[in-house]
Structure 1
């Protein structure tokens, strides 16, 4: 469901579009005043395989119809240390497809409340929701509130959520605690036979990323493959 009005987007403003330069973007989510969670593969130039300069990135919090609730440049971005951009696309690679983006200035606005990370691991059959920007709705976020976890493999979840290019890094929410909490992020879209599915990276590695980015602060003052019967595509 597209979130096109202020009433529809209320409560979701901490999800935003992460612009990466040259017209490309991913989805990111504010998890603290100055940290955005997204997918690691978003940080790499798909043509050269090199990491994108953080100076080219900008986070548009609550982006909707040409306006954002907050605009922030990026100070630095780091991928999970076990992530390898040149590894074959598939479940194992998606297990580490996590990144944190440190904003140049924190966002401290009452309507932009960072989302909490869940300690719970989603189980097969659990209903989850995804909010994303993507091809076809790059100017407004879209919410799927009721898709289902089909299975877990390694540090990933397989879901029947429908995603497209640009949805990489989108938060996957559990509503079990009575409020949305992030349990995963979108890593890839896939097909199982003719059935569209999506692959999410579990967020267990975010703690390592937080520690790494804190240490750095202290020191500094579309390809396709087939795997396991599924065809994976980075969204």
Structure 2
């Protein structure tokens, strides 16, 4: 029986101003604790906000598409104002790189309306000006998305843990429906774009990217985007030279619950101001 999201409160986890507080997650703030996770980094956006990203090639960072838009205006953010801080912890990073260009999924639409389609296509690739050739920072491989009942992990920054990433080693995959991965991972503002890992192959491989946080019947969940086919589309776009001078964001009309074949029984509510 397919999982059905009932009374779902969906909040886009767009970047928030930098700040740090204590966190109940495992904080990767020492060399030993963070070893092997240096490929996850903080994406500083204009020095005012941040998201999470992960290295998938020496010059490519995977993140969420909505991180590339201004929340108040919907305008695209100039990629050259974004810096990737690989393995950032306690004020220092293993590598610092400026972003050269970015591509978002062609079917992604940034608009006021919140929808399953928006979450499903919420994926972007950032090309760095210079590749990271640091033996401490190793790009992650990707893998097929897991199925319901599988175990995954997440490494992310957030508004209450902005100075060091945190690891939640075991999360449950609650459902995989309509191209969206629903997990029990603990995310918050700033966790947008954070990699969701599977260990089924014996090593951590990225199987999804955090798009949003949500509540299902009072329980907090994290929603992840599709990865396999969309990632191939983004890599092809970069190879074709696309992504320079990103065009203005397209807009879409609000989606009404119960209308259209894409509905999954979710009740979407606009994020609070």
Give the TM-score taking structure 1 as reference length: 0.92
Q: Which stretches of structure 1, 4 residues or longer, exceed 2 Å deviation after superposition?
A: 217-220, 229-234
Query: Do structure 1's residue 148 and structure 2's residue 186 form an aligned pair?
Result: no
- Tell me if 1:161 matches 2:185: yes
- C-alpha separation in 2, matches of 1:79 and 1:175: 27
| C-alpha distance in structure 2 between counterparts of 1:192 and 1:121, whole Å | 21
CA–CA distance in 2 between the matches of 1:175 and 1:232?
35
Flag the structure with larger Rg.
Answer: 2
1:177 aligns with 2:215: no
Counterpart-to-counterpart distance in 1, 2:167 and 2:77: 28
Shift in CA distance, 84/139, structure 1 to aligned 2, threshold 3 Å: same
How far apart, in 2, do the equivalents of 1:29 and 1:202 lie? Answer: 16
d(CA) in 2 for partners of 1:108 and 1:172? 24
1:88-107 correspondence runs (5 A): 88-107=113-132
Corresponding pairs, count = 229
1: distance between equivalents of 2:224 and 2:270?
12
Q: Is the 8 A contact 1:125 1:150 kept in 2?
A: yes
CA distance in 1, matches of 2:53, 2:138: 14
Give the deviation of 1:88 after TM superposition: 2.3
SS, match of residue 187 in structure 2: coil
TM-superposed CA distance for 1:87, in Å, is 6.0
For structure 1, which segment, 208-217 or 165-174, has the greater mean C-alpha deviation from structure 2 after superposition? 208-217
Judged with a 3 Å threshold, the aligned counterparts in structure 2 of structure 1 residues 232 and 132 are, in CA distance, closer, same or farther, namely farther
Are 1:111 and 2:111 matched, yes or no? no
Select the structure with the greater relative contact order (CA < 8 A; seq sep ≥ 6).
2
Per the TM alignment, residue 230 of structure 1 is displaced from its structure 2 partner at its CA by 6.6
Partner Cα separation in structure 2 for residue 142 and residue 81 of structure 1: 31
Tell me: CA distance 1:22–1:13, structure 2 relative to 1, closer, same or farther (3 Å). closer
TM-score, normalised to structure 2, is 0.80
2:75 is matched with 50
Separation in 1 of the partners of 2:268 and 2:242? 40
Structure 1 counterpart of 2:217:
193
Partner residue of 1:228 out of 266, 269, 272? 266
Q: Report the Cα offset of residue 33 of structure 1.
A: 0.5
Shift of 1:55: 1.6
1:63 aligns to 2:63 (yes or no): no
What per-residue deviation string (whole Å, max 9, x for no partner) do you get for residues 158-184 of structure 1? 011110000000000000000000000
The alpha-carbon deviation at position 219 of structure 1 amounts to 9.5
What's the CA shift string for 1:85-135, capped at 9, x where partnerless? 0162232211100000000110011111100011x2210000000000001
Post-superposition CA distance 1:127-146 (Å, at most 9, x none): 00000000100000000010
| 3-state secondary structure, aligned to 1:183 | strand
Q: Equivalent of 2:150, from 110, 126, 132?
A: 126
1:82 to partner: Cα distance: 0.5
